[in-house]
Amino acid sequence: MRFYTGQHEHYCGVDLHARTIYVCILNRKGETVLHRNMPSNPDRFLDAILPFSDDLVVGAECMFTWYWLADLCQEAEIPFVLGHALYMKAVHGGKAKNDRIDSAKIAALLKGGTFPMAYVYPREWRSTRDLLRRRLHFVRKRGELVAHIQNTYHQYNLKAPSAKLRYRANRSGAAEAFSDDSAQKNIAVDLAVADRLDRVIRDLEYFLTRRAKVHDPDTFHRLRSIPGVGKILAMTLLYEIHDIERFPRVQDFASYARLVKCAHESAGKRSGTGGAKIGNAHLRWAFGEAVVLMLRENDEIKKRRQRLERKHGKGKSLSILAHRLGRAVYFMLKRKRVFQMERFLAG
């Protein structure tokens, strides 16, 4: 956990909402000089903070509406700090909670040096990262449609198609296997939506690949040197990591990618683990998927996995390999080198 410890004359805490924001500004002595509710309007916000803008820092909790405020502060050359939502216990754990109290607490955390920081993703890459995540949403929807078709086959005690229905070429005749007209229509509707999603996903992947080659082609091709990592996994790693220099240690990167469990200890006694939902779920998925694909291509990794499985079990053996791959990717990007299988197996 990283805290913002910068010193300023004024500290502005903003409680963000879609249509309104509550602004609280404290001076260096901790006195409230502004406490006001206002519409989520950039001009109104700049007018309100103008008397204190000489030495001001703005802080807000990470939620879905923070983009415009971060960009506005960047244009106005005002320091902006994004608060990690899961770490801001002071805001969520109070006896009384409302927008006025929350904005004051955010300002107080900023002033006291206990404001937990989240990464302010740069504006230039932000929309492409969001589009890549949206592609994953469509892929999962297509998977739900295929699963529904297979379940319908089981409902009517019919043998499901042996070929994978996620491929368009294998879907012909899937609806005709049912004698009931309504059941046929049920499958036909699923197939029609899946066909449309195929075209949408294909166009998205083509657009995203072009964007990745513009944003950082060297890192994109460097990530593709990992066996089993194709365009989608390489783009996921590229856009979810963005800048490897924001992780001072490999342990910080492994924690952010959810590749390690965090122990809870007190008085020398361990009471379990926690923080499983703190980190980047997309990176955890990418590393887990990459390990499974690597196992298909390399016999040495299969042997290593078998030894780990005998000692730790099937699930944990994959987690260990994913952790090792995460460390390898960290040093690849730090040293700007391609993946080396010999070093990976010797680790």
136 within domain boundaries: yes
Q: Is residue 225 part of a domain?
A: no
Q: Are strands 80-83 and 115-118 parallel, antiparallel or unpaired?
A: antiparallel
Q: Are residues 100 and 131 in the same domain?
A: no
Give the phi and the psi of residue 235 in degrees, each rounded to 5: -70, -35
Give the whole-angstrom CA distance, residue 343 versus residue 155: 50
Domain hosting residue 340, numbered range: 231-346
Is 67 within a domain?
Answer: yes
57 and 91 co-located in one domain: yes
Whether residues 18 and 108 fall in one domain: yes
What is the radius of gyration, based on Cα positions, of the chain? 25
Say whether both 108 and 141 belong to one domain.
Answer: no
**What is the full DSSP assignment across 157-192?**
T-PPPSS-TTSGGG-TTTTTT-SSHHHHHHHHHHHH
Q: What is the DSSP letter of 15?
A: E
Question: Same domain, yes or no, for 140 and 188?
Answer: yes
Domain finish residue from 59, 88, 118? 118
CATH number for 44? 3.30.420.40
In a domain, 161, yes or no: yes
Q: Which positions of the chain have pLDDT values less than 70?
A: 347
43 touches 78 (CB < 8 A): no
250 in a domain, yes or no? yes
Same-domain pairing of 165 and 198: yes
- One domain, residues 289 and 209: no
Instruction: Show which of 76, 103, 118 is a domain's final residue.
Output: 118
Residues 235, 177 share a domain: no
Shared domain for 97 and 196, answered yes or no, is no
Residues 113 and 130 in one domain: no
Same domain, 236 and 331: yes
Total count of domains within the chain: 3
pLDDT reported for residue 65 = 92
Q: What kind and span of H or E run contains 14? A: strand 10-16
Q: Give dist(CA 223, CA 39) in Å, integer.
A: 44
Q: How far is residue 282's CA from residue 233's CA, in Å, rounded to a whole number?
A: 10
- Give pLDDT, residue 347: 64
Residue 226 belongs to some domain of the structure: no
- Dihedral sign, Cα of residue 285, residue 288, residue 291, residue 296: negative
Question: What is the pLDDT, as a whole number, of residue 92?
Answer: 74
**Is residue 183 located within the same domain as residue 242?**
no
317, part of any domain: yes
Chain position carrying tokens 């800048």: 243
Q: Is 341 left (phi over 0), alpha (psi -120 to 50) or beta?
A: alpha
Q: Are the beta carbons of 256 and 346 closer than 8 angstroms?
A: no
- What backbone torsions phi and psi does residue 222 show, to the nearest 5 degrees? -65, -40
pLDDT digits (tens, 9 = 90+) for 212-244: 999 999 999 999 999 989 999 999 999 999 999
| Dihedral in degrees, nearest 10, Cα atoms 242, 246, 252, 257 | -10
Q: With respect to residue 221, please indicate whether it lies within any of the assigned structural domains.
A: no
pTM confidence score: 0.89
Show which of 68, 99, 118 is a domain's final residue: 118
